[in-house]
Amino acid sequence: MEVQLVTDIQKFSIHDGEGIRTTIFFKGCPLSCIWCHNPETQDYGQQFMWNQEKCAGCGECAGACPSGAVSMDGHKPVTDVNKCGICHTCEEYCLQNAREFAGREYTVEELAAEAVKDQPFYEQSHGGVTLSGGEVLARDMDFVEQLMLELTKRGIRVNVDTCGYIPWKNIARIIPYTDTFLYDIKLMDSRLHQKMTGVGNEEILENLIRLSKSKAAIWIRIPVVGGVNDTDRNMEETLEFLSSHSITPKWIHLLPYHNTGSGKYPRLGQKYQGRDFTTPKESRMQELLDMCLARGYQAGIGG
């Protein structure tokens, strides 16, 4: 039976489209944004995560590991990820819940069953399910299409949150099942986009143009990172791009950067690279919002 990796199923979400939603976070993303607050969604495979602050150094994990991947250095467990068979035994034996694996396998049927549990809330609030990530459209598209078909059969509206850096055929394939696309625009300078996300923005912008021409409903989401893209120039170029290509999103949401995900990096054995980034002041966010409103766009901060 076909399965895909999901890092989280977030219930009662109110920031990923209209109404009350269930947001499903798929694992794997073609971008590697330096400021990413869900780094566990970037890699396409399961990943071991260790929370040092929770660890009591009891050694139960080392004694339980069947592959010998965990050893003790004093009171500190050391995990050899090359030996790890991702059997979850150490996770089960950890009394402090300091060990976990990012990414759980789900079938279409399991995800649909989970989503249906909250269907009364969707109906009352005009909500639904949002497929996010990572990048859901970088996963197996047979799986994604089948999931969306199952949800729409049940009368559940489905949003797709996308970075846009995927083949156009993947986007086109699920347009008939998508209520709204939540489309990220991070930077208009492609060289800076490459530096900050690992890829240029040409394909992202071209896909947005094609998506707009398909008459799909689009919400533009702009993560506003202090010291990166919170400039008048970037906002002016973004709005000019939308205008010049007759792209009329239902909403533009400006999302102020936060570093709440920085604590996940050491748990993955990684170093957070965004320590020099800042959260834009409320006054600056308002200035950028006013620029959107002056152009006639329906826009807001957050969401």
User: What is the set of domains in the chain, with CATH numbers?
Assistant: 4-44+104-301 (3.20.20.70), 48-100 (3.30.70.20)
Q: How crowded is the C-beta side of 101, counted as CA atoms within 13 Å?
A: 19
Whether the per-residue pLDDT at 204 is higher than 70: the answer is yes
Taking the C-alpha atoms of residue 266 and residue 289, their distance in angstroms, rounded to an integer, is 34
Instruction: Write down the pLDDT at residue 159.
Output: 98
The H or E element that residue 10 is part of is: strand 4-13
Whether the per-residue pLDDT at 123 is higher than 90: the answer is yes
| 3-class state of residue 303 by DSSP | coil
Question: What is the torsion angle, in degrees rounded to the nearest 10, for the CA atoms of residue 135, residue 138, residue 143 and residue 147?
Answer: 30
Whether the per-residue pLDDT at 198 is higher than 80: the answer is yes
| 3-class state of residue 223 by DSSP | strand
Instruction: Write down the pLDDT at residue 1.
Output: 63
Quick one: average pLDDT of 271-283? 93
Quick one: average pLDDT of 136-154? 97
- Confidence at 217, pLDDT banded by 50, 70, 90: very high
Phi and psi at 160, nearest 5°, equal -125, 120
Instruction: Write down the pLDDT at residue 264.
Output: 95
Helix axis angle, 282-294 relative to 232-244, nearest 10°? Answer: 30
Instruction: Write down the pLDDT at residue 275.
Output: 84
Instruction: Write down the pLDDT at residue 303.
Output: 79
Tens-place pLDDT, residues 150-159: 999 999 999 9
Quick one: average pLDDT of 155-171? 98
Instruction: Write down the pLDDT at residue 260.
Output: 87
| 3-class state of residue 263 by DSSP | coil
Radius of gyration of the chain (CA): 21
- pTM of structure: 0.95
Instruction: Write down the pLDDT at residue 226.
Output: 96
Tens-place pLDDT, residues 10-28: 999 998 999 999 999 999 9
Whether the per-residue pLDDT at 189 is higher than 90: the answer is yes
Quick one: average pLDDT of 189-215? 98
Burial-class residue 15 by CB neighbours within 10 Å (0-12, 13-18, 19+): middle
Q: Are 94 and 60 contacting, i.e. CB atoms less than 8 angstroms apart?
A: yes
How confident is the prediction for the chain on average, in pLDDT?
Answer: 96
Tens-place pLDDT, residues 46-104: 999 999 999 999 999 999 999 999 999 999 999 999 999 999 999 999 999 999 999 99
